[in-house]
Amino acid sequence: MTTRVIKRVSTSVPTMEGAGVHLHRAFGHSDVPLFDPFLLFDDFRSATPDDYRKGFPWHPHRGIETITYVLRGDVEHGDSLGNKGDIRCGDVQWMTAGSGIIHQEMPKGDSAGRMEGFQLWANLPAADKMMQPRYRDIRAEQIPVVTLASGATIKVICGQVGDVHGPVEDVIIEPEYLDVTLPPHTTFDHPTPQDYTVFAYVYGGNGRFDQVSSDLLGNRSLVLFEPGESVVIDAGDDGLSFLLVVGKPLGEPVAWGGPIVMNTDEELQLAFAEFRDGTFIKHG
């Protein structure tokens, strides 16, 4: 098998979104099409409530999926379909905006004021951008955990590790989303489709992400891999915790304006015109 090597390493950078949420962005608008089919990845870990409590009040989405994974704290949400509830510690919300949805996400943190989580945006192909919106709320207890002989643990949100499948299925870009924790000086060897996009994001400890570089990469490091049939990742002295994300590239043009992502500028302008005149919502 061809083992993937590192294509690019970067560090997520501070930015502000929503009504004034301080977060770290690993990649976004300027990185299209490097991470195709993925558009954006945000790290909103903070122990300062003023950094996140203003939240993300009501706003539209069309043409994408947003995947929110919470490690600590609580995020209240509601939408134009009538869904509402909380995303709690260990939970995942996989939202397919499709033809259009208006929603809000309001981080609340935990009793100690900590709020930790990540949001990933995945593009939808042209043929499915106007599909009916849907929510998948996955509770922590629904996410299987694989424990290897090395002591490594892998939470399988989407995709497969050995014979274990994650609870999120039937997603167009055939994604894999794993939360991996390695004890010190252990190795994680995982197969990947040859030409799919693969990246890793470190949120604890440090480690080496290919067999060529000797560099140890730590917290908030983003690793984009070259094509290959597997990744081989080694934990350093402090162990290693990271997210591994895999997806099938779309290879389509991207017209991106704020929370809406289409294929042409005309489609983008139409979406914002419909939002202004009240015809944006097609279902619900």
The residue-averaged pLDDT of 238-245 equals: 98
Distance, in Å, from the CA atom of 279 to the CA atom of 268, rounded to the nearest integer, reads 14
- pLDDT value, residue 82: 87
- pLDDT value, residue 274: 97
Distance, in Å, from the CA atom of 33 to the CA atom of 193, rounded to the nearest integer, reads 19
- pLDDT value, residue 183: 98
The residue-averaged pLDDT of 30-43 equals: 97
Distance, in Å, from the CA atom of 86 to the CA atom of 112, rounded to the nearest integer, reads 18
- pLDDT value, residue 251: 98
- The string of pLDDT tens digits covering residues 193-229 is 999 999 999 999 999 999 998 899 999 999 999 999 9
**Residues in Cβ contact with 197 at an 8 Å cutoff, skipping those fewer than 6 apart:** 35, 36, 37, 38, 224, 246, 247, 248, 249
Q: Is the pTM of this model over 0.85?
A: yes
- The string of pLDDT tens digits covering residues 58-82 is 999 999 999 999 999 999 999 898 8
**pLDDT averaged over the chain?**
96
Asked whether residue 149 carries a pLDDT value surpassing 90, the answer given is: yes
Share of the chain above pLDDT 90, in %: 94
- pLDDT value, residue 214: 87
Distance, in Å, from the CA atom of 215 to the CA atom of 67, rounded to the nearest integer, reads 30
- The string of pLDDT tens digits covering residues 152-196 is 999 999 999 999 999 998 898 999 999 999 999 999 999 999 999
Q: How confident is residue 22, by pLDDT bands cut at 50, 70 and 90?
A: very high
For the chain, give the DSSP string: -PBP-EEEEEE-EEEEETTTEEEEEEE-GGGTTTTTTEEEEEE--BS-GGGTTT-EEEEEEBSEEEEEEEEES-EEEEETTS-EEEE-TT-EEEEE-TT-EEEEEEE---TTS-BEEEEEEEE--GGGTTSPPEEEEE-GGGS-EEE-TTS-EEEEEESEETTEE-SB---TT--EEEEEEE-TT-EEEEE--TTSEEEEEEEEEEEE-SSS----B-TTEEEEEPS-SEEEEEEEEEEEEEEEEEE-------EEETTEEESSHHHHHHHHHHHHHT------
The residue-averaged pLDDT of 96-100 equals: 96
Q: Verify cis geometry, omega within 30 degrees of 0, for the bond prior to 33.
A: yes
Asked whether residue 284 carries a pLDDT value surpassing 80, the answer given is: no
Distance, in Å, from the CA atom of 138 to the CA atom of 163, rounded to the nearest integer, reads 20
The residue-averaged pLDDT of 44-66 equals: 97
- pLDDT value, residue 262: 98
Q: How confident is residue 144, by pLDDT bands cut at 50, 70 and 90?
A: very high
Q: How confident is residue 283, by pLDDT bands cut at 50, 70 and 90?
A: confident
- The string of pLDDT tens digits covering residues 186-202 is 999 999 999 999 999 99
Q: For the chain, first and last CA: distance in Å?
A: 47
Distance, in Å, from the CA atom of 73 to the CA atom of 108, rounded to the nearest integer, reads 7
Asked whether residue 230 carries a pLDDT value surpassing 80, the answer given is: yes
- pLDDT value, residue 64: 98
